[in-house]
């Protein structure tokens, strides 16, 4: 069998180095021994945005972007979306296996009984402007939860970690719904333990004066599927933030606030909100070609298109398209869907998109579903955050327990000025005859 090594010749010195290959990767630290004159700090690998750098070893999510494969703990996302529930998937991500019926019952029960918030959180939310973006409120309040649970700092205590994981998965929807109701001046609706995770979220969003809120089962299931599809996506931007903050041994509430802040960006979880704004700006099917021309000319990006990893299609987008049909059959057809379908048709036949391998991603159709269910656009990234929470937590815990991990601290290639001095010091050095560069 061929040796699992890479031989590097440094043409500056003529020296050869054998570097081991493990799991299809070389260790960047092995490059340190490659120096131009036998001393110094050695060769760095330069990879802004981690285009080809693995920052961890992970057993949680597998993606093959070329073949459009997404698996959680080995299970294809299509099967999970069809046959399981979001809380089952959350259990799978955190524990590595699907729960048996007893474990499932205990897990659902525990999460259901951690949905309430400390009443002071309501006062915190009340302090936000009526037009505060709910994602800003979520980032602020989930970070604030860290001050309510100082026991969360005990990150190497397994029981404590489990409790914080339950709290976070349980409380994110409550924070999210309270943020939404604050914007419209509605009284906060408390969780209903009789309902499913998704059904309860719909209840907290829309319960008015009725004694019992009854979620529409099609919309409840659609929301559950969307949460499953967002549950993890290996080392994406916000997960990388979760791991980086976790690597400093911050508590998981603070790390989740940081991850949610990353998700808020329009290139990440904020994209679904931008898709809906874009479809509204296009306004009609007849204006789609003109819009695509503007994208081709480099004036704009087509939101909801393109992905760092998927270069053929995003498997989540395909599932979502089907869910959109189910939801719109209940809520009535949306003119935005017609614009989206036309945009997809025109873009996929266009040279620019073919050449750049740009396909609809998870965010392209999810906004149409959210909007049909009745969520305001500002809530779209918040929904993404609720779905991604189990993934963040699974990745946080895996990173924390990985003996190879240390505090995340990348290197840099310095491109600034060489040493120089303030005028007075320069003159003094010149007088003393020492270097004053
Ligand atoms: N519309 C038009 N051109 C695009 C788009 C787009 N949506 N996405 C990429 N390109 C072009 C880009 O201009 C560049 O062209 P060139 O090589 O000629 O300069 C080329 O494709 C490569 O783009 P990139 O920005 O280097 O690719 P990336 O892997 O760094 O970015 C991305 C991935 C998702 C940030 C990007 O495709 C994008 O901005 N898409 C729109 C925002 C979006 O939908 N984000 C949601 C991503 S999926 C959910 C999630 O992860 O949160």
CB atoms < 10 A from the CB of 315, how many? 22
Segment 385-397, tens digit of pLDDT: 999 999 999 999 9
Nearest CA to ligand 1 atom 14: 356
Among 114, 307, 314, 350, the one annotated catalytic: 307
> Do 107 and 165 form a contact (C-beta atoms < 8 A)?
no
pLDDT at 268 over 60: yes
pLDDT score, position 38: 65
Closest protein CA for atom 51 of ligand 1:
268
Annotated catalytic residue 249: no
CA of 357 to the centre of ligand 1 (A): 10
Residue 268 is a catalytic residue: yes
Number of H helices, E strands in the chain: 18, 6
**Among 104, 118, 268, 421, which one carries the catalytic annotation?**
268
Q: How far is the CA of 354 from the centre of ligand 1 (A)?
A: 13
- Give Cα separations from 9 to 18, 37, 407, 435 (angstroms): 9, 14, 31, 37
Which residues lie with the beta carbon below 6 Å from any ligand 1 atom? 236, 267-269, 271, 295, 301-308, 356, 358, 361-363
Q: Is 314 helix (H, G, I), strand (E, B) or coil?
A: coil
**What residue's CA is closest to ligand 1, atom 27?**
308
Question: Phi and psi for 57 in degrees, rounded to 5?
Answer: -105, 135
pLDDT in tens, 269-297: 888 888 999 999 999 999 999 999 999 99
Backbone angles phi, psi at 434, to 5 degrees: -95, 165
Q: Which of 2-11, 266-275, 390-399 has the lowest mean pLDDT?
A: 266-275
**Residue 230 a catalytic site member:** no
Residue nearest to atom 16 of ligand 1 (CA): 356
Determine the residue of 306, 360, 384 to mutate for testing ligand 1's pocket, defined as the one with the most ligand atoms within 8 A of the Cβ atom.
306
Look at ligand 1, atom 29, and give the residue with the nearest C-alpha. Answer: 308
The minimum-distance atom of ligand 1 relative to the CA of 233 is 51
What tens digit of pLDDT does each residue of 297-341 get? 999 999 999 998 898 888 998 899 889 989 999 999 888 889 999
Whether the predicted pLDDT of 436 surpasses 60: no
**pLDDT at position 337, please?**
87
- Residue 263 Cα to ligand 1 midpoint, Å, equals 16
Residue 86 CA, ligand 1 centroid: distance in Å = 28
Identify the residue whose C-alpha is closest to ligand 1 atom 8: 306
* Torsion 302-304-305-308 (CA) sign: positive
Domain boundaries, the chain: 5-46, 66-407
Distance CA 36, CA 431 (A): 35
Q: Which atom of ligand 1 is nearest to the CA of 314?
A: 48
What is the rounded CA–CA span in Å between residue 137 and residue 146?
15
Q: Which atom of ligand 1 lies at the shortest distance from residue 275's CA?
A: 44
Give the Cβ contact number of residue 65 at 10 Å: 15
Angle at 339 between CA 336 and CA 340, to 5 degrees: 85
- DSSP conformational letter for 186: P
| pLDDT at residue 272 in the model | 87
CA of 304 to the centre of ligand 1 (A): 9
Residue 437 pLDDT greater than 60, yes or no = no
pLDDT single digits (tens) 45-82 = 999 999 999 999 999 999 999 999 999 999 999 999 99
Cβ-Cβ contacts under 8 Å for 190 (sequence gap 6 or more) = 116, 204
* CATH code given to domain 66-407: 1.10.580.10
Name the one residue in this structure whose structure tokens are 């204006």.
Answer: 287
**Chain-centroid distance, C-alpha 318:** 19
The Cα 323–Cα 306 span in angstroms is 21
Q: Would the pLDDT of 368 be above 90?
A: no
Atom of ligand 1 minimally distant from the CA of 263: 52
306 CA to centre of ligand 1 in angstroms: 5
Rounded distance, CA 209 to CA 230, Å?
Answer: 32
User: Which tens digit of pLDDT belongs to each residue from 175-218?
Assistant: 999 999 999 999 999 999 999 999 999 999 999 999 999 999 99
- Lowest average pLDDT, out of 187-191, 229-233, 364-368, goes to 364-368
Q: Looking at ligand 1, which atom is closest to the CA of residue 306?
A: 37
């Amino acid at each position: 069998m061929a040796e699992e090594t890479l031989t590097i010749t440094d043409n500056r010195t003529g020296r050869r180095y054998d570097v081991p290959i493990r799991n299809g990767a070389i260790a960047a630290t092995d490059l340190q021994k490659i120096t131009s004159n036998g001393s110094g700090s050695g060769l760095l690998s330069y990879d802004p945005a981690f285009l080809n750098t693995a920052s961890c070893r992970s057993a949680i999510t597998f993606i093959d972007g070329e073949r459009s494969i997404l698996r959680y703990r080995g299970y294809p996302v299509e099967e999970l979306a069809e046959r399981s529930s979001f809380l089952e998937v959350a259990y799978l991500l955190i524990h590595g296996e699907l729960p048996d019926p007893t474990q499932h019952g205990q897990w659902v029960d525990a999460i259901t009984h951690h949905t309430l918030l400390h009443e002071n959180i309501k006062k915190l939310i009340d302090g936000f402007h009526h037009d505060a973006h709910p994602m800003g409120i979520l980032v602020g309040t989930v970070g604030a939860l860290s001050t309510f649970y100082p026991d969360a700092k005990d990150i190497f205590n397994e029981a404590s970690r489990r409790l914080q994981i339950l709290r976070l998965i349980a409380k994110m929807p409550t924070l999210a719904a309270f943020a939404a109701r604050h914007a419209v001046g509605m009284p906060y609706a408390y969780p209903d333990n009789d309902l499913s995770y998704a059904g309860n979220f719909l209840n907290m969003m829309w319960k008015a004066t009725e004694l019992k809120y009854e979620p529409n089962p099609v919309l409840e299931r659609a929301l559950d599927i969307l949460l499953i599809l967002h549950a993890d996506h290996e080392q994406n931007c916000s997960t990388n933030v979760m791991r980086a903050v976790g690597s400093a041994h911050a508590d998981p509430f603070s790390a989740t606030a940081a991850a949610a802040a990353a998700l808020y960006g329009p290139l990440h979880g904020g994209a679904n909100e931008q898709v809906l704004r874009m479809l509204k700006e296009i306004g009609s099917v007849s204006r789609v070609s003109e819009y695509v021309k503007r994208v081709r000319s480099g004036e704009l990006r087509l939101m909801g298109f393109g992905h760092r990893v998927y270069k053929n299609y995003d498997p989540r987008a395909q599932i979502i398209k089907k869910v959109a049909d189910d939801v719109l059959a209940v809520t009535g057809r949306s003119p935005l869907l017609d614009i989206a379908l036309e945009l997809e048709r025109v873009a996929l036949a266009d040279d620019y998109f073919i050449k750049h391998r740009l396909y609809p991603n998870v965010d392209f159709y999810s906004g149409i579903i959210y909007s049909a269910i009745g969520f305001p656009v500002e809530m779209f990234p918040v929904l993404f955050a609720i779905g991604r929470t189990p993934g963040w937590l699974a990745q946080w815990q895996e990173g924390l327990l990985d003996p190879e991990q240390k505090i995340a601290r990348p290197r840099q290639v310095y491109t600034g000025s060489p040493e120089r001095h303030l005028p007075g010091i320069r003159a003094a050095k010149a007088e003393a005859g020492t270097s004053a560069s």
